[in-house]
Amino acid sequence: MTPPQDPARLTPREARALFRAGLVTPTSGWSAGWTQANLIALPRDRAYDFLLFAQRNAQSCPVLDVTEPGDVAASIFDGDLRTDLPAYRVYELGEQVAETTDVTSYWRDDLVCFLLGCSFTFESALIEAGVPVRHIEAGTNVPMYRTNLPCRSAGELWGPTVVTMRPVPAHLVPAAVRVTSRYPAVHGAPIHVGDPALLGITDLDKPDFGDPVEVRQGELPVFWCCGVTSQAAVMRSRPAFAISHAPGSMAITDVRDSAYAVP
């Protein structure tokens, strides 16, 4: 399926219809002005530990919505969570057993879906403020890295903070901080500017998830917390079953990003 000419202008409903029809793409840059979210679906008996992990690591795992067991829509997502994301990963005992565009056949009545804030949400605010977003320009997925920053554990959930990276021209770093700090529910301000080694990242060209991007002369790598943090922690605890979005292929919600902005 051919991607649309200008995905930024699609409504969430239009975007979800394309994904439901089988289009696979990173959603960065899609439906500008609408909130995007990480999805993780877990059996009910794992839900408390997950919600507690999210509370204790709220900058990485800001919870936007939680469904009732078995529900396939959410209060902020008026679609079908089983089909309306571009791609999913399915896990058994923490091991990936499938990557697919439709998880209807895997669905279970005891699954609780968690929708977590995603930094794609503030990218249109960055662009409006004149801060270029390299991976959108390149049409690739944002690069994501495991860091040496440990999360606070909850039950069996623990692991490192995962971050996204965007190269920012030095003189625009203050604007990037200022703009994104207005969006605490979607990771907020960066957690680090400048030196990947201090985060335990040895090679920016080899992200743990997503695609590498060029950091040009005069640019600094800027790092934001990433919802994949929770995914990594959950899989390490080896739940009997789990479903997540594929990295970068987010749930596009029906909530304006301005709804999560603070003054």
Q: Which positions touch a copy of itself (CB under 8 A)?
A: 47-48, 51-52, 55-56, 63, 66, 75, 152, 178, 181-182, 184, 262-263
Least gap, CB of 69 to a copy of itself (angstroms): 11
Phi-psi region of 188 (alpha: psi -120 to 50; beta: other; left: phi over 0): left
Cβ nearer to a copy of itself, comparing 28 with 38: 38
The four Cα atoms 259, 260, 262, 263 give a dihedral, to 10 degrees, of -30
Closest of 38, 217, 58 to residue 144, by C-alpha: 38
Least gap, CB of 244 to a copy of itself (angstroms): 19
User: What is the rounded CA–CA span in Å between residue 113 and residue 38?
Assistant: 10
Cβ nearer to a copy of itself, comparing 45 with 137: 45
User: What is the rounded CA–CA span in Å between residue 39 and residue 17?
Assistant: 18
Least gap, CB of 179 to a copy of itself (angstroms): 11
How large is the greatest C-alpha to C-alpha distance in the chain, in angstroms? 52
Cβ nearer to a copy of itself, comparing 18 with 154: 154
Cβ nearer to a copy of itself, comparing 197 with 262: 262
Least gap, CB of 209 to a copy of itself (angstroms): 26
